[in-house]
Structure 1
Amino acid sequence: MSSFHVLIAGGGIGGLCLAQGLRKAGISCTVYEAAPGIVQAGYRLHMNATGGNALKQCLPDNLYELYMRTSRTTPRREAFVLIDDQCQEIGTRPHLGPDNDPRRPHTAVNRRTLRQIMYSGLDDTVRFGQPVTGYEEHGDKVRLLLADGTSAEGDVLVAADGLHSVIRRQRLPQIPTVDTGLRSLSVRVPLTADLVASLPDILFDGFVLALGPRNVSLAFGAYQPRRPVAEAAAELAPEAAIDDVDPYLMMNCVIDETSAYLAGIPDLWTATGDELHPVVREAVRDWHPALTELAERLDPSTLAPMSVRRLEPVDTWPTSRITFLGDAIHAMPPTFGSGANTALRDAACLAQALERATTDKSDLLTEIAAYERDMRAEVWPIFRASADPRAIDQADFLPDGVPVVNR
């Protein structure tokens, strides 16, 4: 099977990880990404041992080390911390996933930095500016159709093209996309020395969610790299194009789409950061002074609205040469910080399955079926739980006998 070739639709976190894993295994692949390059799409990503171990499997040693060195410094508590709007701790819950590395744990990364690291060495593999429009099956081959009228042929097609996957919609049109009705205003707050000194320590724990009145919540996650990004990249991957990143606090203000706070915004999706900034200010106006200060000091140029959407889990589907990974098949709300980690897990497991099919002469469809079955067994419990409106239940964070805060 020396001519075996894998087509990957989508060059996000999962697609690039899969490409690196396949290259490491000596398997030919091409990634087709609609965006013109590695654009800014989100900020901080929580990482756990599930995602970190997948990166260790798929990346060359120098790029894996670069990921570790540009990860966030280890917080005093690597946990999910729930607080109220006055910065009073409600409780903590361990992050999902296997035991973390006790010496240098997986913490968090800057999303674009991770993508730039994973793109390193793949210049001849990734085709930017190539939206996919569908596919055709021809016996034991798959033809990927591209928006410019051209096509590409391979032995396997992997849908890594996210929540709105063109490939999934063609292959599994019965899976609906669900809009939760929540809107997230995601933004970065520059972490200057004076701001760091003024903020409560609890805001620098692993991942922090503040629950406020009127169904408003603020999610916080610090990004303070273990080593300056540019410095680490110059040493470990001098040929890679990796931008420097200053420390910041990621903040997500989550409100309902019907909230009065959005009443003055005619079109959320075309509003500028300067127009959205007052929404965040007003939403947290009576909160703890440290939280209102963060709302004041956010960088409006980084403020971006997002819909919180998900897919409905399906129990099974017919196995074929078209398969899926990450958000293309199990897009979930960010409730447990598992979206990126499970996408990386999928990529590593699929790379192993395809390596077995090409080197051990295992049956290709048998290996794909096993990969999909294992994915459902491992990821679906998190997938289903994240879709439950009770996923953030204060009682889950409290010791027995402690009353839940009523609002």
Structure 2
Amino acid sequence: MDREQGRSAIVAGAGIGGLAAAIGLLRAGWTVTVLERAPQLREAGAGWSFAPNALRAADALGVGAEFRACSVPTEAGATMRLPGGEYLMRFQPGADVPLLANHRADLQRVLARHVPADRIRAGAEVTGVHQDGDGVTVTCRDGTEMTAGLLVGADGLHSTVRRRVWPDTPEPVFQRILCWRGVTKPGSAWPVSGFQTWGRGARFGAHPLTGERVFWFLTVRQEQPGARFADDLEEVRARTRGWHDPIPALLAATPHEAVLRHDIYDLDPLPSYVQGRVVLLGDAAHAMTPFLAQGACQALEDAAVLAAEAAGPVPESLARYDRLRRPRTQQVQRMARTDPRLSLSTTPATYRLMTAMTRLASSGVARRKSARLWDWTPPLVHTGK
């Protein structure tokens, strides 16, 4: 990208995608400033899991070893159970590939260590974006302005950058899904190797984390967004009453304040991730449901590809990024939107068919299906001088 612009970039958002993008651009020799609207980098969120494609992206960005160090192998990708405990599919060591699970806060700390502290500006909420052809000027809520040769919109589902630069794009789409997430107290319900349990219209999952903690989630069908409950943990208990061990123990080991509740939204496919010197990345570009465990994985892929393309003029580089990323991420979006139409169906016949097919399919079929998502090779990120 243009050396006459000083190879400077602004990254809006200090989440996983934004920090990864900053790391990649720094690695490629750029000057980077990360703007985060929160007053500080908070240790928020819960856990998640990552497939091999994300690990390859982390390796390309130079953070693979630390990524693995803050993660724990989980068998949840290939262990499926019914609420009564019966196995539909069971992880096979040596045949199935474990995912890696970590806590969002742990991964954020790992990535933040690779960005100089003075290059991350907290409390800097982007409110305006202006392009003049040679650069991008960003205005923050406090009135400060910054100009750079590139703006990366990594500011999430409700991206301000997307709304300002692509004002006609549709709003996020509620997918009639509600999700609770929680993390157990250290050592209180251990060990857990990882599993998913499929009920009718509900899916529970659990992943081990570092520090002998366990991350769990419950997703259910919910027709309207904005549902509120007197006690979220008790609501999860009620919806999983009678389900197999260790689910009751995991809930008993979870503090009430450690439970998060979110409505699940995604985005309809965008016509482009690029306009001028502005590029979208991660959820800002292709927010998706969590049912393939690929949202953050795709953000890491985005960051690796953006960094690899960061050597030439801005327009050509961003055009290549768009050509490489949009088809793949939008395919994953579609798959992630389609999956819960079956796996969260509340129709008894559909539930019986889904569980019967899963039982008969074997883990080999699941491995071949996963390969379509995981079989991705990152480009080489050239280290800048």
2:123 paired with 1:162: no
Q: 1:326-383, CA deviations, whole angstroms, 9 ceiling, x for partnerless residues?
A: 00010001001001110011011101111x21xxxxx321110110111012222111
Contact 1:92–1:397 (CA under 8 A) maintained in structure 2: no
What SS does structure 2 have at the residue aligned with 1:196? Answer: coil
Partner of 1:235: none
2:129 paired with 1:135: yes
Equivalent of residue 216 in structure 1, options 160, 183, 202: 202
Partner of 1:200: none
Equivalent of residue 35 in structure 2, options 28, 32, 35: 32
Equivalent of residue 279 in structure 1, options 216, 235, 238: 235
Partner of 2:214: 249
Equivalent of residue 45 in structure 1, options 35, 48, 57: 48
Q: Distance in 2 between matches of 1:18 and 1:266?
A: 34
- Displacement after TM superposition at 1:396 (Å): 6.0
Contact 1:55–1:64 (CA under 8 A) maintained in structure 2: yes
- Displacement after TM superposition at 1:40 (Å): 3.0
What SS does structure 2 have at the residue aligned with 1:314? Answer: coil
Letter aligned with residue 110 of structure 2: I
Contact 1:68–1:106 (CA under 8 A) maintained in structure 2: no
Equivalent of residue 144 in structure 2, options 138, 145, 150: 150
Q: Distance in 2 between matches of 1:160 and 1:266?
A: 28
Equivalent of residue 180 in structure 1, options 175, 185, 197: 175
Unaligned ranges ≥5, structure 2: 344-353, 363-385
- Displacement after TM superposition at 1:315 (Å): 4.3
Contact 2:190–2:213 (CA under 8 A) maintained in structure 1: no
Letter aligned with residue 192 of structure 1: G
Q: Distance in 2 between matches of 1:131 and 1:156?
A: 17
Partner of 1:65: 65
What SS does structure 2 have at the residue aligned with 1:15? Answer: helix
Partner of 1:371: 321
- TM-score normalised to structure 2 length: 0.81
2:175 paired with 1:196: no
What SS does structure 2 have at the residue aligned with 1:26? Answer: coil
Partner of 2:358: 397
Letter aligned with residue 48 of structure 2: L
Contact 2:136–2:149 (CA under 8 A) maintained in structure 1: yes
Kindly report which structure 2 residues correspond to 1:224-235, keeping only aligned pairs within 5 A, or say none. Answer: 225=210
Q: Distance in 1 between matches of 2:235 and 2:190?
A: 24
Contact 2:153–2:159 (CA under 8 A) maintained in structure 1: yes
Q: Distance in 1 between matches of 2:286 and 2:158?
A: 11
Equivalent of residue 104 in structure 2, options 106, 111, 131: 111
What SS does structure 2 have at the residue aligned with 1:190? Answer: coil
What SS does structure 2 have at the residue aligned with 1:204? Answer: coil
Equivalent of residue 352 in structure 1, options 294, 300, 308: 308
Partner of 2:349: none
Q: Distance in 2 between matches of 1:14 and 1:149?
A: 26
What SS does structure 2 have at the residue aligned with 1:332? Answer: coil
- Displacement after TM superposition at 1:291 (Å): 2.0
Against the structure 1 CA distance between its residues 325 and 211, is the aligned structure 2 distance closer, same or farther, given a 3 Å change threshold? Answer: same
Partner of 2:377: none
Q: CA RMSD in A?
A: 2.8
Letter aligned with residue 380 of structure 1: Q
Letter aligned with residue 321 of structure 2: Y
Percent identical: 24
Letter aligned with residue 41 of structure 1: A
- Displacement after TM superposition at 1:91 (Å): 2.4
Contact 2:273–2:285 (CA under 8 A) maintained in structure 1: no
Partner of 1:12: 15
Contact 1:281–1:296 (CA under 8 A) maintained in structure 2: no
Q: 1:118-148, CA deviations, whole angstroms, 9 ceiling, x for partnerless residues?
A: 1114202111111111201112111011010
Against the structure 1 CA distance between its residues 286 and 258, is the aligned structure 2 distance closer, same or farther, given a 3 Å change threshold? Answer: farther
What SS does structure 2 have at the residue aligned with 1:52? Answer: helix
What SS does structure 2 have at the residue aligned with 1:87? Answer: coil
Against the structure 1 CA distance between its residues 317 and 331, is the aligned structure 2 distance closer, same or farther, given a 3 Å change threshold? Answer: closer
Partner of 2:254: 298
- TM-score normalised to structure 1 length: 0.77
Q: Which moved more, 1:112-121 or 1:41-50?
A: 41-50
Count of equivalent residues: 345
Against the structure 1 CA distance between its residues 317 and 339, is the aligned structure 2 distance closer, same or farther, given a 3 Å change threshold? Answer: closer
Partner of 2:381: none
- Displacement after TM superposition at 1:37 (Å): 2.1
Against the structure 1 CA distance between its residues 41 and 307, is the aligned structure 2 distance closer, same or farther, given a 3 Å change threshold? Answer: farther
Letter aligned with residue 286 of structure 2: H
Q: Distance in 2 between matches of 1:321 and 1:39?
A: 29
What SS does structure 2 have at the residue aligned with 1:348? Answer: helix
Contact 2:282–2:302 (CA under 8 A) maintained in structure 1: yes
Letter aligned with residue 219 of structure 1: G
- Displacement after TM superposition at 1:189 (Å): 1.8
Letter aligned with residue 183 of structure 2: R
Contact 2:13–2:154 (CA under 8 A) maintained in structure 1: yes
What SS does structure 2 have at the residue aligned with 1:399? Answer: helix
Contact 1:22–1:29 (CA under 8 A) maintained in structure 2: yes
